[in-house]
Amino acid sequence: MAATETMESRPSRNAKKAPVKKDETKKPPARTRGKPKETAQAKVSPKSKPESKKKTASPAKKSTLLKRKETKKEASPELDAKGGRKRKISAVENGTSATTTIKKHKSAKEIHIYADFLNETPGDRVLSCGEGEQIGHPGRTTTKKPRAIGTLPEDVKVLQVIAGGVHTTILTDKHEVYSCGINEGGTVPVKDLAAEETKDELTIIEFSDHVKKEGKIVQLTSGAGFTAALTDLGSVIAWGNLRDENGAVEVHHLFAEMKKGPTVIIHHNNVQIVKIAAGENHLVMLSSEGEIYTFGEGSHGQLGGSARTKHIRSTYMADDTGKSLHRSVLEKSKFVKFSNIFAGGYWTMARSMDGRIFACGLNNYGQLGFPVPDDEVTTNDENQKPKDLEEQNKKLKIDRLTYSPAFSPEKKWTHIAGVKHIVARTDDGEVYGIGLNTDNELGIGTFKDKDDKEHWRYFELQKIVFPDDVKIAGITATLGCSIAWTDDGDAYGFGYDSVGQLGLGNTDDEHKCVVTPKKITSAHLEDYKIIQVDLADNHAVFLAAHNTPTTDSTTGK
């Protein structure tokens, strides 16, 4: 879902790039207070003092004592046949989740549950376009228009599709995960696939019993070379690799474990996560109590935890307990609670309960909604030296979650995506763009050429107009391009269609720059409506559902 190239340059797009809960032991029968009467009498010697006269309680006192005894009996735990406490049934039994239905109710402390963020409409067709083994078409590594993937079981229903930097991952209604692409440092952990080998067919990922104990997978997200999965119990599992400007990130043992296979990075008994979102090399998590947690590489400020972004302590990047990953925002002695999270490229965003958008990370084109001073603006100059860019970027990082006034709190922002540019959707179906525009990735058609000094970037949100004023259901974006889909099941692409990832069928360079939204068509979409899209640098993945014929209530036809 995130871009796979650095912010400083654009390389060739064709380059491959809980603890187990202990069983409660049965306790012996409850002991009787004091000693048995007969035992006490047996120990009285003949020379003992005569027994004192036994006191009797008044009728009123007897009634009170009886009531107390009955109340205590009702409040006590049930006893099993042997007199011990009955063992509570764990949420996880015998290595498999006991949860069979979606959690519908919140506890007293919970603000959210994971069901709040799920796609409830399954699709029965997965399509892809673009370039590379990750498109999932055996024997074919390129397609310019959405093409149905035919290697999944016939009866499979799909809940989510995810496009990673060099891989594709899907989630089925049976909570199974399939993947294909380049196994770059554990990115595609399917059976019998060696490191750096490729798989051009969607193949099921087999999880260990240890991972299965964390619950059933209900949500996925991917970065450049990693994937994360959320379980119904609130745990987070991840696999693949994270990178920074110096190569693989290996400062914490969890990063090394992820390269070997699916690894539990957040245990639900420490914190319950309800939504996950990925950037290039970092992960953002929202807890059931409305708190933000971040994980991974943070040299651009995207973790939002410290002003020290160059040399971050490993515990602030990964932590078995999750405690060091918590990112709080304190206002007037109160902690801000959040209702949603978003991530992409090298940035993180979160929507507070009162509607405000907070952001952190790389803001080199003003894409996070913070205007860049004129003397620090990243110029539209392809010949600028990388060292100069690096020095510039240091000044353009927002290292802590900060309120972004560009995003109006009066609007409910449901989707926010992108890298150097950002596109955002509101709940009423409107879409806005901000940031870099040199590939017309904002879809407003204003940028002319490299000499255009006025329209190459925007520090304020620009409304994107779609044909026939259609209402947009969702939006996805990556480096230089964007795709939006509608309530009616159509999709539109705009920006630079370099390798066919927009699915518009462009075959010549002259038409690769799509300046305003253009409808995506394909023979493989006939009688299907698009319900979800995810876009990466080199490919896009579509989830579609077969159109159900409508019946006229008056004629029955």
Q: What is the pLDDT of residues 493-511, one digit of tens each?
A: 999 999 999 999 998 888 8
Residue 27 lies in a domain: no
Q: What would the two tokens of residue 368 be?
A: 């996070």
Indicate whether 43 belongs to any domain: no
Q: Rounded to whole angstroms, how far apart are CA atoms 200 and 134?
A: 6
The CATH number of the domain holding residue 330 is: 2.130.10.30
CA–CA separation, 418 and 342 (whole Å): 10
State the pLDDT at residue 305: 81
Distances (CA, A) of 381 to 103, 366, 385, 420, 438: 52, 17, 9, 15, 11
Give the count of domains, the chain.
Answer: 1
Q: How far apart are CA 256 and CA 248, in angstroms?
A: 10
Q: 191 lies in a domain? A: yes
Average pLDDT, rounded, for the chain? 82
Q: What is the pLDDT of residue 120?
A: 83
Does some domain include residue 348?
yes
CB 335 within 8 A of CB 356: no
72 occurs within a structural domain: no
The answer to whether the beta carbons of residues 240 and 295 sit under 8 Å apart is no
Tens of pLDDT, residue by residue, the chain (557 residues):
544 444 444 444 444 444 444 444 444 444 333 433 333 333 334 344 444 444 444 544 444 444 444 444 444 433 343 334 433 333 333 333 333 345 555 666 778 989 999 988 899 999 999 999 999 999 999 999 999 999 999 889 999 999 999 999 999 999 999 999 999 999 999 999 999 999 999 999 999 999 999 999 999 999 999 999 999 999 999 999 999 888 878 778 899 999 999 999 999 999 999 999 999 999 999 999 999 999 999 999 999 986 555 556 666 688 878 888 999 999 999 999 999 999 999 999 999 999 999 999 999 999 999 999 775 555 555 555 655 666 666 679 999 999 999 999 999 999 999 999 999 999 999 999 999 999 999 999 999 988 888 999 999 999 999 999 899 999 999 999 999 999 999 999 999 999 999 999 998 888 899 999 999 999 999 999 999 999 999 999 999 999 976 545 555 55
Positive/negative CA dihedral, 273, 278, 284, 290? negative
pLDDT value at residue 36 = 39
Residue 221 lies inside a defined structural domain of this protein: yes
Work out whether the CA dihedral 267, 273, 276, 282 comes out positive or negative. Answer: negative
77: tokens are: 């735990």
Domain assignment of residue 514, yes or no: no
Residue whose entry in the numeric block shows the structure tokens 């990130």: 249
**In the numeric block, which tokens belong to residue 14?**
């064709």
Q: Which domain holds residue 533?
A: 114-417+523-546
